[in-house]
Amino acid sequence: MATPTLSTLHHVTERKLGKLADHREKFEAEKNSILAKVASAPDHRSKVEALLDGFEQHGITAKHPELSIANLKHFIHQAKHDPSVSATLLSDWQSKLEHELDVTSVKYEYAALFGKLVIEWIKHPNPAGSASAGHAVSNNSDTEMSESFDTVGRKEMHEQRKEWESYAFTERKMDQDRIVEYLNEIFGTTQQAKKVTKTPLQNLRDSMKHVMDFKSDLQPVKKKNTLYDNEIRTGSGAASRFDVDTLKSCIQGVLRSDLLAGTKRESLADLTNQPAVLKELVDVLNMDLEGLDKWEWDPSPVPLNMRRQLNGKYRVYMDEETHQAILLHFIGKTWAVALKQAFTMFYHSGAWLQSPYRSMSKKARQRREYFIPLGTENHNVRNYRRERYQGDYFMTQLPDNNFEDQRDYNAEDQEENQSGLRSSPLATKQSMLRLVTAELLLNTKVYGEFLVLQSDFKWFGPSLPHDTIFAVLKFFGIPEKWLRFFKKFLEASVVFAQDGPDAEALNRKCGIPMSHVLSDALSEAVLFCLDFAVNKRTRGANIHRFHDDLWFWGQESTCIQAWNAILEFSKVMGLQLNEDKTGAALVVTDKATSRSLPDALPKGPIKWGFLNLDASSGRWVIDRTQVDEHIEELRRQLGACQSVMAWVQAWNSYVSRFFSTHFGQPANCFGRQHNDMIIETYEHIQRSLFKDAGTANVTEYLRGMLKERFGTDDSVPDGFFYFPYELGGLGLRNPLINAFATYRRSFRDSAERIDRAFELEKAEYDDLKERWDSGDHRPKRTKYSPLPQDEAGTDTDADEPFMSFEEYTRYREETSSYLRDAYANLQECPPEESVETLPAIREMLQERSLEESPYWLWIYNLYVGDMNRRFGGLQLGERDLLPVGLVDVLRSERVRWEG
């Protein structure tokens, strides 16, 4: 379905609201007329009769399921002659009929209020376009803000811009020979599989030769006579030229990347409605592909804009022309897919090792197979780790195919589930937190201790040296013609838009542009070298990385090897680790053996979002200091909103998504204690946020805001705030519900899940030993199955006792299916409980195609009683008169935070 422009929807909304006002005025006149006749009627029966006549005369229908107008006509005729029809019964009918009139009035009232709120939202859609912090919000919603937004920006913005410029405009010369020497050492000694003539590195280089060939002065491509002949090869199976479907996909990709904003974004979204323009643009873009050797940024210089993120950091975006953005997205997607496929092929080539800390020797495996002929070794932690790493974490920033969109790893206030993505960045970050915690529980139970370290690169995007990028790309065999194109892409002439038209333009000399899939492709090529270096230096362990967020864990010796590999990579590649986000923690089961971290490892704390890892308990704890800092920032951002619905959108983004994300989603590995901590913190947030307003919760605050701006009374129902906009509500999110809905199904003690696996192991061992001792299983010694040797290399006796329990469990990560199941289960989230729901509610939701998730069922059932009494159901206003299309468009724009 095509998306109408904002201006068209604005016009449609005004027409709807005008029609709503006419309907409301007509109905109120009819209602007053009916009630006047009721007031003058002499008795209860006459009053009911006057109501029924009024309903029939004005075409009013009763919505209450227990109220039948047709039946009441029979009953009122009966009452005229039957004294047994009591006055109490007549009075009840009168009350119900009058309540039906009141319900319709209330529906019109709230539909009109909803319309006013949407119009206010159009005028003031985002905090960044509203009053600056500290300015009081105008009491008159129809007036423009008394003071313009402070375009100078915050002190933090100037400081961060200065630091960004110090990286982006300073050329960093690197020792490319040293980089190549390092890469040769890492990649050059990889062994190819038997009967394969080429090494994994050679295969990788070969795959780069024909990715998206284009005409070049040095290497012309043979073409057929027509422009549309599909002769540009991609080596990756990706689309090689533009067609209308490819163009639409690229447009959606650019929109999801959040590169463009405002009218430029609106125009790009509207482009999908214009088939004739799309066809013309396809022709032009294919011509651009034909002449990529002559491509330049146009227009140049490219304007830059700074946008504030909820984590307090500003990001610098290029405000490029939409045609350029589409072309670069296509090229970036093609290269990203090609690199992902080449790196994945390398991962499966045999060069990439995978082994647990305590790995089975050949002799140990033979002994196990001798005693246990039908083992379950494939269903183990080792194999599960490898599958998850390759599927969920290996080069996760790059798309698998041309239909998967770019992953904005910094999108901290967005929905966790985003269409078009294998898994959203937020989902990946959450799953990594669960993985770390499950590993902590497993390692402390199996080995008695667990060590984890984390880091990231300081200002990675702006600081990545171009010399490093090109040294790596050349090493991987990227053709020279593409190196020239990438150089033009990276060395754009730019100027900050806020500096005005006379500002001096400068060429970028370092770093990669923000929110471009091509930037991801180039940077991930560099970081792939880190992934393999750590794997090689540790002889089989993997660094878990999401873009430049680095995590490694395991036992002490392996962690030291990994950390040294990270330091070596950083030095060679010219990257600096961020000391503020670098740390390590050692968790020991037996407190008597507690010790300090080894000197070879960093000493900072381990953090994830607002969580700190308490090494003494092995639990994650919410950092209240960080929360309080963000409460102040949230107060500032909400204060900058000049419309109620922008306020709600900001609340949902900041509180329901950003806070929830940084608290960690409830999971089996955290246990019920984590739910308690989340619930207590959200209670603290609301009480702290609204204490100056004299209230303790968000609904009371919004009720006061509506009273101040629109003259409503204190009776605005809670459901109006929390119901979705499709029903005429504001869609305010309650972040506590997920913690409540998962509470009873969360583990009381997560560590007990592994204890249960150990109990099952012991039961299985006892059964196997009993069968061995009874003679049910005694292998015959043949030349094909000699008796195994013990660890010392001595042949074992055929009559020797069954293997000890210590030997049976020595290599649990490779042998225990029960431990594997526990490990996987700990990484799962407890299912949300769905509250009991009346069939009438489910029927209404299905009729309107509304979401029936546990969250929404909780909301509907929490407020259904009050909403039924006031509105006769869950629909707050006549659906045809609600401007839901305009709300859809306004909600689709990402919140621009006040800077």
pLDDT higher than 90, residue 682? yes
User: Quick one: pLDDT band at residue 302, thresholds 50, 70, 90?
Assistant: very high
What integer best gives the mean pLDDT of the chain?
86
Q: What is the DSSP letter of 659?
A: I
pLDDT over 70 percentage in the chain: 86
User: Quick one: pLDDT band at residue 132, thresholds 50, 70, 90?
Assistant: very low
Cα(703)–Cα(705) distance, rounded to whole angstroms? Answer: 5
The string of pLDDT tens digits covering residues 167-212 is 999 999 999 999 999 999 999 865 555 555 789 999 999 999 989 8
Surface-to-core class of residue 794, CB atoms within 10 Å of its CB (0-12 exposed, 13-18 middle, 19+ buried): exposed
pLDDT at 194: 53
Compute φ and ψ for 290, nearest 5 degrees.
-65, -30
Can you tell me which residue has the tokens 């992953």? 407
DSSP codes, 168-194? HTS-----HHHHHHHHHHHHTTPPPPT
- Between residues 791 and 177, the one the model is more confident about: 177
Q: What is the pTM of this model?
A: 0.85
Q: Give the closest residue to 723 by CA, choosing from 108, 52, 114, 32.
A: 114
Is-contact 219 194, C-beta < 8 A?
A: no
Chain-centroid distance of CA 837 in Å reads 29
The pLDDT of 846-863, averaged and rounded, is 91
User: Quick one: pLDDT band at residue 235, thresholds 50, 70, 90?
Assistant: very low
pLDDT at 9: 66
pLDDT at 543: 96
Cα(161)–Cα(304) distance, rounded to whole angstroms? Answer: 11
Cα distance from N-terminal residue to C-terminal residue, the chain: 35
The pLDDT of 235-248, averaged and rounded, is 74
The pLDDT of 601-612, averaged and rounded, is 95
Q: Give the closest residue to 69 by CA, choosing from 88, 79, 82, 56.
A: 56
Distances (CA, A) of 545 to 389, 456, 620: 10, 9, 20
pLDDT at 693: 86
pLDDT at 411: 52
The pLDDT of 396-413, averaged and rounded, is 66
User: Quick one: pLDDT band at residue 417, thresholds 50, 70, 90?
Assistant: very low
Cα(837)–Cα(829) distance, rounded to whole angstroms? Answer: 23
The pLDDT of 382-389, averaged and rounded, is 92
pLDDT at 326: 96
The string of pLDDT tens digits covering residues 555-595 is 999 999 999 999 999 999 999 999 999 999 999 998 888 88
User: Quick one: pLDDT band at residue 788, thresholds 50, 70, 90?
Assistant: low
The pLDDT of 84-99, averaged and rounded, is 92
Cα(221)–Cα(706) distance, rounded to whole angstroms? Answer: 66
> Which tokens in the block code for residue 517?
């899939």
Domain ranges of the chain: 6-129, 164-442+454-576
If DSSP codes are grouped into helix, strand and coil, which group holds residue 104? helix
pLDDT at 20: 86
pLDDT higher than 80, residue 225? no
pLDDT higher than 80, residue 889? no
The string of pLDDT tens digits covering residues 49-69 is 999 999 999 988 887 777 888
pLDDT at 123: 80
pLDDT at 13: 75
- Between residues 3 and 181, the one the model is more confident about: 181
The pLDDT of 712-740, averaged and rounded, is 94
The string of pLDDT tens digits covering residues 212-222 is 865 543 343 44
The pLDDT of 632-659, averaged and rounded, is 92
Q: Is 542 left (phi over 0), alpha (psi -120 to 50) or beta?
A: beta
DSSP codes, 187-255? HTTPPPPTT--S-HHHHHHHHHTTTT----SSSPPP--SSTT------SSS---S--HHHHHHHHHHHH
Q: How would you list the strands of the sheet with 619-622, edge to edge?
A: 607-608, 611-614, 619-622
If DSSP codes are grouped into helix, strand and coil, which group holds residue 549? strand
Q: Give the closest residue to 510 by CA, choosing from 795, 88, 39, 173.
A: 173
The pLDDT of 319-348, averaged and rounded, is 95
If DSSP codes are grouped into helix, strand and coil, which group holds residue 26? helix
pLDDT higher than 80, residue 91? yes
The pLDDT of 303-307, averaged and rounded, is 94
pLDDT higher than 90, residue 707? yes
DSSP codes, 670-720? T-HHHHHHHHHHHHHHHHHHHGGGT-SSHHHHHHHHHHHHH---TT--HHH
Beta bridge partners of 611: 608, 622
pLDDT higher than 50, residue 223? no
| Range name among 5-9, 323-327, 741-745, 794-798 with the lowest pLDDT average | 794-798
- Between residues 339 and 313, the one the model is more confident about: 339
| Range name among 110-114, 441-445, 613-617 with the lowest pLDDT average | 110-114
| Other beta carbons less than 10 A from residue 237's beta carbon | 11
The string of pLDDT tens digits covering residues 504-520 is 999 999 999 999 999 99
pLDDT at 798: 56
Residues 6+ apart with CB under 8 A from 175: none
pLDDT higher than 90, residue 622? yes
Cα(477)–Cα(210) distance, rounded to whole angstroms? Answer: 10
| Range name among 143-147, 242-246, 376-380, 809-813 with the lowest pLDDT average | 143-147
pLDDT at 567: 98
> Which tokens in the block code for residue 493?
């002439």
If DSSP codes are grouped into helix, strand and coil, which group holds residue 661? helix
The string of pLDDT tens digits covering residues 807-852 is 999 999 999 999 999 999 999 999 999 999 988 889 888 888 888 9
User: Quick one: pLDDT band at residue 135, thresholds 50, 70, 90?
Assistant: very low
CA quadruple 71, 73, 79, 81: dihedral, nearest 10: -120
pLDDT higher than 60, residue 285? yes
628: number of CA atoms within 13 Å, CB side? 3
pLDDT at 144: 28
Q: How would you list the strands of the sheet with 549-554, edge to edge?
A: 544-546, 549-554, 449-456, 583-588
| Range name among 32-41, 112-121, 229-238, 847-856 with the lowest pLDDT average | 229-238
The angle formed by the CA atoms of residues 114, 115 and 117, to the nearest 5 degrees, is 65
Residues in the chain: 899
Is-contact 107 58, C-beta < 8 A?
A: no
User: Quick one: pLDDT band at residue 134, thresholds 50, 70, 90?
Assistant: very low
pLDDT at 811: 92
pLDDT over 90 percentage in the chain: 64
pLDDT higher than 90, residue 340? yes
Using only the alpha carbons of the chain, give its radius of gyration. 33
> Which tokens in the block code for residue 223?
């073409």
| Range name among 294-298, 526-530, 778-782 with the lowest pLDDT average | 778-782
